[in-house]
Amino acid sequence: MDLQEIASKQILDSIQTKKDVLDTLLPQIVQAGQIASEVLEKGNMILFCGNGGSSCDASHIAAELVVRYKSGNERRALPAISLSSDSAVLTACSNDYGYEDVFARQVQAFGKPGDLLVGLSTSGNSKNVISATEAAKKLGMKTISFLGGDGGKLKGMADLDIIIPRKETARIQESHILIGHIICSIIEQQLFQLS
């Protein structure tokens, strides 16, 4: 296979994945946007967590809310945080308690009833995202999971699952960031009437 074939195959796979997301997940995506909008409208906060590339996606989506999603959409900053961003907390908790607790410990510190936890796990089996979801539920927070494949162990744990129907991590992550952007767009429209 030559390099152009490699590139075109990935682009076509990405397009097909997004078509499948459009055909099967649109109601869940809109619902996630509505849940996030309601949480923020009530003055609550959104917490994001994930590992590896999902960690970057968590930080990316949180930044879109704190700063702004669309250039030119001037609005107030929205309370969102990525639990993957503080290296001191991550390393201290990993050392003192174990990596499984790095997000749950932060949920216990920052989360409160009515807040929202969005956990990203392409496999659905990330132990620290599972622990964070359990901690959030105990606190009375709302929960959304961005998953892939069959949803893994996280499937059914959150209030709402968005499961990308693919096994390839890259296709799942591309779809997760697209869905994160759509949710940001819904929030800016719902709260500020910005398109």
CA distances from 71 to 33, 132, 135 (A): 19, 32, 35
Task: Please provide the DSSP assignment of 77-135 as one string.
Answer: ---EEETT--HHHHHHHHHHT-GGGHHHHHHHHH--TT-EEEEE-SSS--HHHHHHHHH
Residues contacting 69, CB < 8 A, separation 6+: 181, 184, 185, 187, 188
Q: 119 a known binding residue?
A: no
Q: Is 176 annotated as a binding residue?
A: no
Binding site annotation covers 96? yes
126 is in an annotated binding site: yes
Residue 50: alpha-carbon gap to chain centroid: 8
- Flag whether 37 is marked binding: no
82 labelled binding-site residue: no
Helices 102-110 and 87-96: crossing angle, nearest 10°? 120
148 is in an annotated binding site: no
The reply, when asked if residue 174 is annotated as ligand binding, is no
CA distance 130 to 77: 29
Q: Is 150 annotated as a binding residue?
A: no
Q: Which residues are annotated as a binding site for Zn(2+)?
A: 60, 64, 173, 181
Q: Which residues are annotated as a binding site?
A: 51-53, 60, 64, 95-96, 121-123, 126, 173, 181
Q: Which residues are annotated as a binding site for substrate?
A: 51-53, 64, 95-96, 121-123, 126, 173
